[in-house]
Structure 1
Amino acid sequence: MNEHSRHYVLAAGGTGGHMVPAAALAAELRRRGHSVALVSDDRGVRFPGLFEDVQTHVLPAGRFGKNPMGWLRGISQVRKGRAMAMELYRSFKPAAVIGFGGYPALPALLAAFRMKVPTVIHEQNAVLGRVNRLVSGKVDAIATSYEEVARLKHKHMQKAVLVGNPVREAVLALRERPYPLLEEDGIFRVLVTGGSQGASILSQVVPDGLALLPVHFRRRMQVTHQARIEDIDQVRAKYAEHGIPADIATYIEDMPEQLGWAHIVIARAGASTIAELTAAGRPAILIPLPIATDDHQTANAKEMTAAGGARTIPQPAFTPTELAKQIQRLGLDTVGLENAARRARQCGRPHAARDLADLVERIGGGTTGMAVAGGAD
């Protein structure tokens, strides 16, 4: 490590939406010679391929649902997690703690406040999440992925810095590849993905919707469809019935490669999905998850849709007929699809990891360790 190297703690909930941007920042900070530790839950520290060579720590993290009876246990878990985080900070001496949302980030940030360690939070969605809302008044900076972020209080906006949502290097590399050539008699590739868990609604609607497209398109279509395990047989039978070649899997391991070849993507509107679509420049039909907290997926889809890089269909209106109609409005000709791809790409923020690391270094640059305050109470 060089003389300017520092230690940073990244705290994130264990879902891909939190872990992927945290991993991208970790890679960038380590490239700059810094040391990084991860604080998460059991899922996060086991997340495949992201933090395998980074020191990881599991902290208790209470959840606060609608039932107040569970709050006492939640508060107890948070206090326990905060004490463990403070113990970590005494030995690791972080220059800053960076929270990516999710309940496991809360005790790590509370410990940082107590020990006067500088803090940054990163919000992946277009609506500030629960934990980030809770701590936004006390953190030193709020890194955002969108120009407009709902639920961010006006008095905290001066702390907000637009950086974008970091994506994996393999996805970022697609930005340098041209949109795949769509020839008159060539293959038309469709990628269908419902996020890490799949989405049954996509399996129910998409095969029948694609079957309604003009016959000359249907005959040269190749579909890659991620489906839940309980839906696979039904989805396979539907594509076979319509004569549409399709590869169906519960998990797509080579997602960056599939995204690179896709002419159009049909997907949920999670933060990581939008970040990857706009980084790569791929047109999309987006079906926001209706039960997402604060309807944040609908908010995520707005910028890309307004730019002309996507069409959004609310789930109650998501029928085979509507899907076919919106695909045709997006464009079924080379010019239309290439225009939509260009507009999607213009929404991308390819330097998100770099800009977030710059912010983190700036916030954490004034300390070589931290001021050690009193113990846990």
Structure 2
Amino acid sequence: MSQVSRHYVLAAGGTGGHLIPAFALAAELDRRGHHVALITDERGAAIPGKPDFLPAHVLPPGRIAGKNPVNWLKGARGILDGRQMALRLFDSFEPSAVVGFGGYPAMPTLLAATAARIPTVLHEQNAVLGRVNRYFAGKVDAIATSCEEVDRLDPRHAGKVTLVGNPVRSEVLTLRDEPFPDFTEDSLFRILVTGGSQGARVLSQVVPDGLAMLPPALRSRLQVIQQCRPEDIEAVRERYASHGIPAELATYFEDMDQRLASAHLFIGRAGASTIAELTAVGRPAILIPLPIATDDHQAANTREIVAAGGARSIRQEGFTGATLAKQIQAMAQHPETLANAAHAAWNCGYPNAARDLADLVESFGAAPIMDVIRMDRKATPANGNEALAREPAL
């Protein structure tokens, strides 16, 4: 029996952490013959990596934050305006389900979906349920999680929860079956350092000096690739040069998946997408959770991979050159130690996350008779309905 084409709306905040899994789900649903639309904010619409087939609809900002009542009113107005815009999209696009990936732009879309009685699914990337997902947890049909243990998830909603993992980019997932790079007592020791899309200043300040504190036999084999902020890059370059450590520095690496594939050790933040990619490929890591992350969710994100032996976690207040050097020595003093950590990280991965999330989303949707009606519309479009299905407009 052929797959019936349906329509789905994905709503995600304007950061890579929310949008990368949304893009992965969109690609899987498109592969299955469905039509997908994305609702996000201006930042999200501009993030690289959005599939060409995926139309993006920008909602007004609707974040209620701070102590200024004027900002509350502006935020509330943005949410209400966004809700109306989403309802107009639903009228033309007729989604079988709406999937929220968290972030404030998802709020008006989910409000519209619950008002229109459209089935809704939440996906939580982090080990702490985000604020928007917390608000809707009791109202949606299903909650997909990326971790076995998720903080701030009300036990009353346990019956809605399905563990699927966090979908990653296809180019990263293809690396899962490649072996860990050869690491012997004589080989190069390749370290990849990143701090998210904008880099992390603390990494630029600490990592070069920490690597310089390694024993000469290990330090002489180093080959470093580091992402830095534009304003930091020259100072970091000078610091590595003063230590005699070869380092390739850039503000952005287009081939980050290949850099990760060749790395023996990763040093960086503990965002949800970072953890998902490390465990998909199987790379050991030293993680420094962002201390200002909401609900300290980056620290929670490290629990599973650290417990498995695939990573070490250092709180930023204790992140010094000496501490970093000590942790690197513990992981790399014997070739098999690093390889074992890589395997432990690999075992924490969820390579079928996009498939399993798509299966969950497909389980909620229009009744079979509506699928037949929709297929009839595709076969005999009238008044531009087919164009609306493929290119919906708010």
Give the TM-score normalised by structure 1. Answer: 0.96
The separation in 1 between residues aligned to 2:352 and 2:92, in whole angstroms, is 32
Shift in Å at residue 154 of structure 1?
A: 1.0
Aligned runs of 1:276-295 on 2, under 5 Å? 276-295=277-296
Tell me which stretches of 4 or more aligned residues in structure 1 moved more than 6 Å.
none
Structure 2 partner of 1:83: 84
The answer to whether 1:264 aligns with 2:269 is no
SS at match of 1:18: helix
The separation in 2 between residues aligned to 1:147 and 1:299, in whole angstroms, is 11
Structure 1 partner of 2:123: 122
The separation in 1 between residues aligned to 2:86 and 2:163, in whole angstroms, is 28
Q: Alpha-carbon deviations, 1:63-117, whole Å to 9, x = none?
A: 1113251211111111110001000000000000000001111111111001110
Q: Is the 8 A contact 1:97 1:118 kept in 2?
A: yes
Percent identity of paired positions between Structure 1 and Structure 2: 62
Q: Is the 8 A contact 1:61 1:107 kept in 2?
A: no
The separation in 1 between residues aligned to 2:50 and 2:24, in whole angstroms, is 9
The answer to whether 1:228 aligns with 2:229 is yes
After the TM superposition, which of the residue ranges 146-155 and 42-51 deviates more from structure 2? 42-51
After the TM superposition, which of the residue ranges 230-239 and 53-62 deviates more from structure 2? 53-62
Q: Is the 8 A contact 2:282 2:346 kept in 1?
A: yes
Structure 1 pair 366–161 and aligned structure 2 pair: CA distance change class (3 A): farther
Structure 1 partner of 2:376: none
SS at match of 1:229: coil
SS at match of 1:364: coil
Q: Residue type matched to 1:59 in 2? A: L
Structure 2 partner of 1:41: 41
Q: Residue type matched to 1:154 in 2? A: P
Aligned length: 369
Aligned runs of 1:105-254 on 2, under 5 Å? 105-254=106-255
Q: Residue type matched to 1:244 in 2? A: I
Give unmatched runs, 5+ long, in structure 1: 371-377
The answer to whether 1:358 aligns with 2:374 is no
Q: Is the 8 A contact 1:17 1:272 kept in 2?
A: yes
The answer to whether 1:9 aligns with 2:9 is yes
The separation in 2 between residues aligned to 1:260 and 1:301, in whole angstroms, is 20
Shift in Å at residue 349 of structure 1?
A: 0.5
The answer to whether 1:18 aligns with 2:18 is yes
The separation in 2 between residues aligned to 1:140 and 1:265, in whole angstroms, is 37
The separation in 2 between residues aligned to 1:75 and 1:132, in whole angstroms, is 18
Give the TM-score normalised by structure 2. Answer: 0.92
Q: Is the 8 A contact 1:81 1:108 kept in 2?
A: yes
The separation in 2 between residues aligned to 1:230 and 1:61, in whole angstroms, is 29
The separation in 1 between residues aligned to 2:365 and 2:148, in whole angstroms, is 24
Q: Is the 8 A contact 1:118 1:140 kept in 2?
A: yes
The separation in 2 between residues aligned to 1:218 and 1:327, in whole angstroms, is 11
The separation in 2 between residues aligned to 1:366 and 1:164, in whole angstroms, is 28
Q: Residue type matched to 2:242 in 1? A: E
Structure 2 partner of 1:328: 329
RMSD of equivalent CA atoms:
1.3
SS at match of 1:363: coil
Shift in Å at residue 49 of structure 1?
A: 2.5
Q: Is the 8 A contact 2:9 2:95 kept in 1?
A: yes
Shift in Å at residue 3 of structure 1?
A: 5.7
Q: Is the 8 A contact 2:167 2:354 kept in 1?
A: yes
Structure 1 partner of 2:54: 54
The separation in 2 between residues aligned to 1:364 and 1:191, in whole angstroms, is 43
Q: Alpha-carbon deviations, 1:289-322, whole Å to 9, x = none?
A: 0000000000001110010000000000000000
Q: Is the 8 A contact 1:269 1:297 kept in 2?
A: yes
Q: Is the 8 A contact 1:287 1:314 kept in 2?
A: yes
Q: Alpha-carbon deviations, 1:105-153, whole Å to 9, x = none?
A: 1111111001110000100000000111111110000000001100111
Q: Residue type matched to 1:63 in 2? A: R
The separation in 1 between residues aligned to 2:250 and 2:367, in whole angstroms, is 49
SS at match of 1:120: strand
The separation in 1 between residues aligned to 2:53 and 2:67, in whole angstroms, is 39
Q: Is the 8 A contact 1:172 1:279 kept in 2?
A: yes
Q: Residue type matched to 1:18 in 2? A: H
Q: Residue type matched to 1:60 in 2? A: P
Q: Is the 8 A contact 2:27 2:51 kept in 1?
A: no
Q: Is the 8 A contact 1:61 1:106 kept in 2?
A: no
